[in-house]
Structure formats: structure tokens, C-alpha cells
Structure 1
Amino acid sequence: MTIFEKFSLIENPINQTPMAKYMRNQFPFAGLKAPERKQQSHDLIQASKKLRISEILSGVTQLYQRPQREYQYVAIDMCVANVRRLSFADITHLTRYITEKSWWDTVDTWRKVFGLYIMRHPEQKQAVFALFYQNANMWMRRVSIILQLTEKETLDTLLLTKAIENDLNTDEFFIQKAIGWALRNYSKMDPEWVKRFIQTHQLSKLARHEGAKYLTGVSN
């Protein structure tokens, strides 16, 4: 029996219903908020740092098979903790989980794994971006838009532009929200670039409103 098969979260029934409701009842929950989940999974995460990457990838699969949503969060936390040991092949493998049990909570947290990876391997940024760009799956394209969310000076505006322009006319809330989020976040670093982008692109009302939140002189 693997350490993942032995691993089990102690549920908190009080939180199960409200947490599931917050996620539109798409997934059952163990009822653990982030601090409690991280406390319970601490030993597993620490132990994972001594495992082979192949064992970690297998563990992700095992955790993703559990019905309670928190097990998916633990799987992602484990990948974040081991991101410095991941290869491009591993990253490519992990993209499959963007399309499994998909919703914004796991998709956006997986984005952290990919974002941290490209910050450690900037020479592979375009290759990682290509894994998501123009994908038929909406959640994969959302990752292409917010991939560089944690970057500042190193953000590649050409890639950001390509990702946004590819979905300018996509009538999907989570895509338009991602466009606005990416622009708003980068406006902290380069407000003039974001201002020009908004002024020269026909953004949706939602994307424009979100992107211009921190800007002056731009109607949102």
C-alpha cells in the first residue's frame, strides 16, 4: 500500500454543505478549509519530497480519484512543493488535470505549478505556453491567459497579447474574467502598457472593467 493509499483526511461535517454549495454542488467536500487541510496533509507533502517523481505523478492520479475535492487540492499542493524537481515532460503530463474535474478552483491552482515552473525555466516559457494556447478546452486556454500571473519584469507581453487576442470574442465568463484578471495584475507593473492595450482592443465589458480597476484615465 502506497503512502497515498494510506492517506486520509479527517472530515469536518459542519463545513461540507456550505463548501459544496460555494462550488455550485459540483463536488463533495470533506469540509476542510485551507489551514486545516494543509495541517492534515503536511506529513504527506513533506514525505513526497523524498519520493521519485514517477511516484509523485502516480500519487496525483490516486488523489484525483478520491471524490472529496480537498484531495485534488492536496495533489496540487504536492506538485507545488516539488516543482523544482519537475521536468518539461512532467509538466506536459500534469496538464491533463486541467481537464479533469475542472472548475476554477483547481484550474487556477494548477496554474501556480506551471507559473512557478516557467519562472525557474524561462527558456521553456514558450513551450509551456504552447501546451495551453489555442486549445479546444476552455480551461486550458484560461491557463494560457493567466500563466504569467505571478511574474512582473519577466512577463512576456507578446505571449499575453496572443493569449488574450485568441479569446477576445469568446462568450465565456471564465475566459473574460481571466483576461481582466491578467490585465489588472500586470497593470501594477506596467500601467501604461495595460492602458494602451485596453484602448486598442475591443474588450468585453467584463474584461475591460476588471483590467482597468487600478488604472486612471480609463473608463471601465
Structure 2
Amino acid sequence: MARAAASPLLPKIRTALAKVGDPARAKQMQAYMKSAMPYHGVPSAAMRAVARDIFATYPFADARSWRADVLAIWRGATHREERYAALALVNHRKATPFNDLDALPMYEDLIVSGAWWDYVDDLAGHRVGELFAKHRKEMKKEMLAWSVDDDMWKRRTSILCQMFLRSDTDLAFLYKCIEPSLPSKEFFLRKAIGWALRQVAWYDPDEVVRYVKAHDAELSGLSKREALKNVAKLQSGALKRRG
């Protein structure tokens, strides 16, 4: 994608975050996230409050301007919370009409350049997942391509994009997206496979047991543990199923 112009929002975001940041917390957050980019040290609740205040007057005039501002904040960020602010603009309820197929190249940009679970999983489960639900034919083609991509985070997104669709999940397609990554030793792919299956277990634990048994030799121990984490309690009724 073309380089985004600077956004007047970014200095406001940076100033507001720096004002409520905690340098000691910032070091802890950076270490926990193994981030090359530093933190301001802003807790999640304060981060949400800053984004809410800044974007309260944002016009959400058109999709093109919205995408440009998201990318300008993202690419101009010097601290990780500034990128979280870009994601807050992505996920804002007033941006819902802009979440169409034209937004997918931007999401791809954020996923590939972000290349870590805190960014990727948010986008995969919400924005990309909503696109999948609305545009299944087009998104199946895209996600199938992502499932065999050299980029691990695009693969992870293809596996996780249905994780909030519950019983509307297309299981056959989920399995197609999982299959290319079954031989992978990448932790984040193995974890994603198990997580996606665990989400299915909430409404169909028997199907997850069937799948795990059928692919016992191919699934990693991590994927199997994650997939079966709640199965026994769901089958016994100790946990309530979610359809």
C-alpha cells in the first residue's frame, strides 16, 4: 500500500498517552510483550479512555479518509499504545460501515507489519472475522490463499478468522485453513489451531473430539491440549455450551 500521509490525530494521541503513562510500567509491558517498540506504560482502561476521548469528535466521513488515518497513526507510531489507538479507530462502532472488502488490504498491512499476537488476534477475530461472515465467497478465496502464505501471521489469521462465529463457523473451511499448518513447528500456529478448535468445542465438543482423534498423528501436543481443554466439562454439562 502507498505510504500514508501524517495524521493530525497522532500528536494528540501521543500527548494524551504520555500524560497518563508510567515509565516503570512501560518497561514491564515492553518486556512482557517482547516488543522492540517501547510503551508509554498506559493500562488498558486508560488506553481505552484516551482513544474514546480522541475519537469522540472524529468525523468518520468516508472510508478512504478513515483508512488513511488508521495507517498514518499506525505507521507514525513510536510507542506500542499508539498502534493500539490505531486499532481502536479500526474497531470503533462508527467505522462498522467501512468494514468492507476494500478494507482488507489495510488489515493485511497491519497484520504483516504488526507481526505479533496482540495486534493480529484483534484484527483476525473482529474485523477480518466480520468480513468473512458478510462476504464468505470472496473471503474464502482470500483466507485460503493466506492459509498457505509464507507469512505466519496471515496463516494464523486464516485459522482464527471464524473464532467468534460460533455455530455459524464453516467447519470444512476451518479445517482447510488448518491443514497447511499442521506440520509447522511454529508455536503461534500450533496455538492458533488449538484455540480455533477450542472455540468450536463450545458448541460442538463431540466434533472436536472426532477431529482430534482423526488427526492425532498430525496435531501437535499443544494444539491437542488447547483443543480439548474444556471438552470433558462441556460433555458432562459442567460447562454450558454456547451456540
Q: Is the 8 A contact 1:118 1:128 kept in 2?
A: no
Residues 193-214 of structure 1 deviation map (CA, whole Å, 9 limit, x = unaligned) = 1111000012101101111111
Residue number among 104, 114, 117 corresponding to 1:101 in the alignment:
114
Give, in whole Å, the separation in 2 of the partners of 1:118 and 1:69. 27
- SS of match in other structure, 1:100: helix
Q: How many residues align?
A: 217
- SS of match in other structure, 2:166: coil
Q: Which amino acid aligns with 2:123?
A: W
Residue number among 31, 54, 59 corresponding to 1:44 in the alignment:
54
Q: Which residue of 1 aligns with 2:68?
A: 58
Q: Give the drift of 1:17.
A: 0.7
Give, in whole Å, the separation in 1 of the partners of 2:220 and 2:160. 17
Q: Which moved more, 1:127-136 or 1:164-173?
A: 127-136
Q: Give the drift of 1:191.
A: 0.8
Q: Is the 8 A contact 2:7 2:73 kept in 1?
A: no
- SS of match in other structure, 1:216: helix
Unaligned runs of 5+ in 2: 1-5, 234-243
Q: 1:127 to 1:46 in 2, by over 3 A?
A: farther
Residues 21-80 of structure 1 deviation map (CA, whole Å, 9 limit, x = unaligned) = 101242200111211011011133333452322122111222122120011111112111
Q: Which residue of 2 aligns with 1:133?
A: 147
Please report the RMSD computed on the Cα atoms of aligned residues, expressed in angstroms: 2.0
Q: Which amino acid aligns with 2:36?
A: Q
Q: Give the drift of 1:2.
A: 4.3
Residues 130-176 of structure 1 deviation map (CA, whole Å, 9 limit, x = unaligned) = 45221110011000111101011210001110111110010100000
Residue number among 209, 217, 226 corresponding to 1:195 in the alignment:
209
**Matched-pair identity in %:** 25
TM-score, normalised via structure 2 length? 0.82
TM-score, normalised via structure 1 length? 0.90
Q: Which residue of 2 aligns with 1:74?
A: 85
